[in-house]
Amino acid sequence: MAAEQNPTVRRRRLGSELRKLREEAGKSLEQAAVVLECHRSKISRIELGYLGIRARDVRDLLDDYGVDDEEVRNHLMALARDGNKRGWWDKYGQIIQPAYANYLGLESDANYIRTFQSILIPGLLQTEAYSRAVIRANPALVRDEVIDTLQKVRAERQAILTRDAEPVRFWSIIGEAALRTPIGSADIMRDQLDHLAEMVKRPNITLQVLPYEVGAHAGLSGPFVIFGFAVPNDTGVVFLENLSSSLYLETKEEVDGYTLVFDDLRSSALNPADSLEYIARINHELGTQGS
């Protein structure tokens, strides 16, 4: 049952796309089941991501749905072939809980990530020392072997920003509190701010700072991440997290709502060049305090 409750990300993306294409074609679950000579419940489980599907079955469904776009067909059949592949995070065993594994799958498959973080530097931009200090702040994660493993995972996650082949497009809006909250020591914070200044030199990374002086803003409801995928007509996925649970929003209305919030925050925040100057100013203040 555990595998059904935690379908792979590729299966979930594939199932979602097949459901949309079926509905656009005006086909029922029963009609799709006739194509694969199975019960309607199997089609439902495929569309929910609980069951894998062979590439040739995807091809047959797409033929029945009248989908002749070769890019779409090739992408969905590739998702079917890759649906049972293990993620790089599987080697970390029980340390990586299913909810985190699902997040890592989305992050790994995305080609565009937008995030708003109010009090922490985004994980993809954290230095090792900063990350360790954040992890140690959680009383449930105090064992050294857990911290070491999570740090290795964090380092592997960050490779999507610097890989040679199609690095992910990453746009982050960070609240001023994330730059000023003393995580670890002053030296750790200064190194972290230096790292931000270095990372934004990359053409695929955009960083904006939302200063205190903005006052009330669209992100007061909390941090969020928006994942975008290289799938035609895909609406993306919004990720929300709290202490004990996480939530994924996938309907067009939900994703559009958070996209509107992100765009409003982008307008309220400092532009990238001014944000870089703001980070340098705070870093200088930290240096002055430590001298």
Identity of residue 260: L
What SS3 class is residue 60?
Answer: helix
Q: What angle do CA 44, 46, 47 make, to 5 degrees?
A: 65
- The C-alpha atoms of residue 192 and residue 196 are separated, in whole angstroms, by 6
In this structure, the number of other CB atoms found within 10 A of the CB of residue 52 comes to 18
> Taking the domains of the chain in order of start, what are their residue ranges?
2-82, 89-290
Q: 3-state class of 228 per DSSP? A: strand
What would the CATH number be for the domain defined by 89-290? 3.30.870
Of 200, 215, 165, 218, give the one whose Cα is nearest residue 271: 200
What burial class does residue 141 get, using C-beta atoms within 10 Å of its C-beta: 0-12 exposed, 13-18 middle, 19+ buried? middle
pLDDT score of 4: 35
Helix (H, G, I), strand (E, B) or coil at 111: coil
For the record, the structure tokens of 229 come out as 């995928």
Cα–Cα–Cα angle for 10, 15, 20, rounded to 5 degrees? 130
Task: Assign a CATH topology to domain 2-82.
Answer: 434 Repressor (Amino-terminal Domain) (1.10.260)
Q: Which of 215, 208, 221, 288 is nearest to 258 (CA)?
A: 221
- Can you tell me whether residue 25 is helix, strand or coil? coil
Q: Is 31 exposed, middle or buried (CB count within 10 Å of its CB: 0-12, 13-18, 19+)?
A: middle
Closest CA to 113 of 126, 102, 100, 122: 122
Record the pTM: 0.80
Residuewise pLDDT in 10s, the chain (291 residues): 233 334 556 787 789 889 999 999 999 999 999 999 999 999 998 998 778 899 999 999 999 999 999 999 998 998 888 776 777 888 887 778 777 888 888 898 889 999 999 999 999 999 999 999 998 887 776 677 788 888 889 899 999 999 999 999 999 999 999 999 999 999 999 999 999 999 999 999 999 999 999 999 999 999 999 999 876 667 888 999 876 677 888 888 999 999 999 999 999 999 999 999 999 999 999 888 765
Name 278's Cβ contacts closer than 8 Å, sequence gap at least 6: 176, 179, 209, 211, 270
Same fold, 2-82 and 89-290: no
Distance of CA 197 to the CA centre of its chain: 22
